[in-house]
Homo-oligomer: A and B are copies of this chain.
């Protein structure tokens, strides 16, 4: 067999042992916090029926879904085309025979052939068109697709298993998703999502607890300064309502969302371009420039939104969340009311979250919100939910940049036993088991390699201790223990080693 130059598909990645240890540190930390708050893990299949996924992510999203080829019977259109050719071949042959036999009728036959040809062509072209139309051909050759996110499969799960679920259902899910996006820095075609959602509970305590979950998980990961921004869709609706632009809420929020980047003048310009009046902008301005404590912000909002029922409802909800949070001590996170926050506006109906680190330059490392009708698309109406997501790849980059990954994890080998020869190997086998019985991750380098090579191996795997077993060591019963970081060596008995390192 010819050797194939090995590669992975673009936008996908291998994870080395060192990378896996870091990824596991992130995922295990977040999972532990999810569990502490009563969230339980589920997993759904990597592939879903296409009809479960298609139409849920907009036209752009649909195009980015990876479709899986049916095995076998997807060529029926091509078979039809082939049949058509065969029938036509027979017909033309018979006409040709006729023409040869009755040359006086040739002209008429030319017409018949031409007419028949044109009929045939239009049929075949129609079939070719059908084959060429991606939307028509795809269902014939593909009925399954790879998960695009964790939310739609979760909605499908809830509806499918609704009779077995105890509501409110608090679930988390950490699994890969696939998107046929153009790969670029930080954007992959396969990446893990890390979501927690609760469905079937309207209580705003859930909203407050998600703030605590972000705070606890990110603090545990070692972040010292990060903002958990919170907003409420109802406040955005209220603002649009008081300026009589309820139908232009998206235009408005898209503009306001850019305040950080383009400043007040930029936002004003954009609002004018999008059909807002100077008067509208005067009304909105105090909201955009909202400052002070959360209480002060809410007071200002209440006065601006005084005429909007939905706006006031949004203020009340946010106040309840902030009141809940007063009963808890936060760790390193700062919770912050940010009415310019508008992510996921198409589906969020209440709280909206976004999390950013203030230690390095990086997009949001988390986000989420409340949606009032998650499962409606699968026929289960009026089930409210609220959920958050951690951006694991970005968190990885942040921890890397801040050098926050623990140097050694319990995933690493702690001790490498290095025998000088077969005798040393035999001598060391019982110690190997004793250390493992004590729970120490231990390896013995198989006899036959030079000590230099064995120590290189220890360095390559970041193993902190090497125990050398040569003839001197066996004669005296004192083995050489080398600290691979400091380079210092000690002579210890097997019992002392097991005691010390175990």
A interface residues (Cβ-Cβ under 8 A, vs B): 1, 3-9, 12-17, 20-21, 24, 35-38, 40-49, 51-52, 55, 63-64, 66-69, 71, 75, 78-79, 81-82, 85, 88-89, 92-93, 96, 99, 103, 106-107, 109-111, 113-114, 117-118, 121, 124-125, 128-129, 131-132, 134, 137-138, 141-144, 146, 156-157, 159-161, 164, 166, 168, 170-171, 176, 178, 180, 190, 201, 203, 205-206, 212, 216, 324, 327-329, 376-379, 410-413, 425-426, 429-430, 433, 436, 439-444, 446-448, 456-457, 460-461
Is A20's CB under 8 angstroms from B38's CB? no
Is B52's CB under 8 angstroms from A379's CB? no
Expressed in whole angstroms, the minimum distance between the Cβ of A91 and any Cβ of chain B is 11
Residues of the B chain whose Cβ atoms lie less than 8 Å from the Cβ of A444? 205
The docked-state distance in angstroms from the alpha carbon of A236 to that of B447 is 28
Is B69's CB under 8 angstroms from A138's CB? yes
Is B68's CB under 8 angstroms from A40's CB? no
Is A7's CB under 8 angstroms from B49's CB? yes
Residues of the B chain whose Cβ atoms lie less than 8 Å from the Cβ of A168? 446, 457
- 20 sample A-B contacts, Cβ–Cβ < 8 Å, listed by A number: A3-B379, A8-B48, A9-B143, A12-B46, A16-B164, A17-B171, A20-B43, A24-B41, A37-B441, A69-B142, A75-B131, A78-B131, A81-B128, A89-B121, A96-B110, A99-B114, A103-B107, A106-B110, A170-B443, A327-B426
Contact of A67 among B69, B113, B433 (CB under 8 A): B69
- Given A67-B69, A99-B110, A205-B444, are A9 and B85 also a contact pair (CB < 8 Å)? no
The docked-state distance in angstroms from the alpha carbon of A18 to that of B378 is 24
Is A69's CB under 8 angstroms from B71's CB? no
Residues of the B chain whose Cβ atoms lie less than 8 Å from the Cβ of A67? 68-69, 71
Contact of A446 among B206, B426, B433 (CB under 8 A): B206
Expressed in whole angstroms, the minimum distance between the Cβ of A144 and any Cβ of chain B is 5
Is A378's CB under 8 angstroms from B203's CB? no
Is A45's CB under 8 angstroms from B8's CB? yes
- Given A444-B205, A461-B40, are A4 and B45 also a contact pair (CB < 8 Å)? no
Is B157's CB under 8 angstroms from A14's CB? yes
Residues of the B chain whose Cβ atoms lie less than 8 Å from the Cβ of A378? 3-4, 6
Contact of A69 among B20, B64, B141, B377 (CB under 8 A): B141
Inter-chain pairs besides A46-B146, A78-B131, 20 sampled, C-beta below 8 Å: A6-B159, A7-B49, A9-B47, A9-B49, A9-B143, A14-B42, A15-B43, A36-B439, A40-B412, A41-B411, A66-B68, A67-B71, A75-B132, A85-B128, A92-B114, A96-B110, A96-B114, A106-B107, A117-B117, A166-B461
Is A40's CB under 8 angstroms from B20's CB? yes
Residues of the B chain whose Cβ atoms lie less than 8 Å from the Cβ of A425? 205
Is A44's CB under 8 angstroms from B161's CB? no
The docked-state distance in angstroms from the alpha carbon of A8 to that of B159 is 12
The docked-state distance in angstroms from the alpha carbon of A216 to that of B329 is 43
Chain B: CB-nearest residue to A410: B35
Contact of A327 among B17, B38, B413, B429 (CB under 8 A): B429
Q: Which 10 A-B pairs have the closest CB atoms?
A: A166-B460, A203-B446, A3-B379, A38-B443, A17-B40, A12-B45, A327-B429, A106-B106, A106-B107, A67-B69
- Given A13-B45, A16-B161, A41-B24, are A3 and B92 also a contact pair (CB < 8 Å)? no
Residues of the B chain whose Cβ atoms lie less than 8 Å from the Cβ of A180? 71
Is B42's CB under 8 angstroms from A15's CB? yes
The docked-state distance in angstroms from the alpha carbon of A8 to that of B43 is 12
The docked-state distance in angstroms from the alpha carbon of A49 to that of B4 is 11
Is B106's CB under 8 angstroms from A6's CB? no
- Given A15-B43, A16-B161, A161-B14, are A433 and B328 also a contact pair (CB < 8 Å)? yes
The docked-state distance in angstroms from the alpha carbon of A142 to that of B67 is 10
Residues of the B chain whose Cβ atoms lie less than 8 Å from the Cβ of A131? 75, 78
| Interface-centre pick from A89, A114, A178 (highest chain B CB count, 10 A) | A114
Expressed in whole angstroms, the minimum distance between the Cβ of A427 and any Cβ of chain B is 10
Is A44's CB under 8 angstroms from B8's CB? yes
Chain B: CB-nearest residue to A415: B38
Expressed in whole angstroms, the minimum distance between the Cβ of A481 and any Cβ of chain B is 18
- Given A4-B379, A20-B42, are A47 and B12 also a contact pair (CB < 8 Å)? yes
Residues of the B chain whose Cβ atoms lie less than 8 Å from the Cβ of A79? 132
Chain B: CB-nearest residue to A38: B443
Residues of the B chain whose Cβ atoms lie less than 8 Å from the Cβ of A430? 327
- Given A1-B55, A206-B446, are A49 and B132 also a contact pair (CB < 8 Å)? no
Contact of A9 among B6, B48, B203 (CB under 8 A): B48
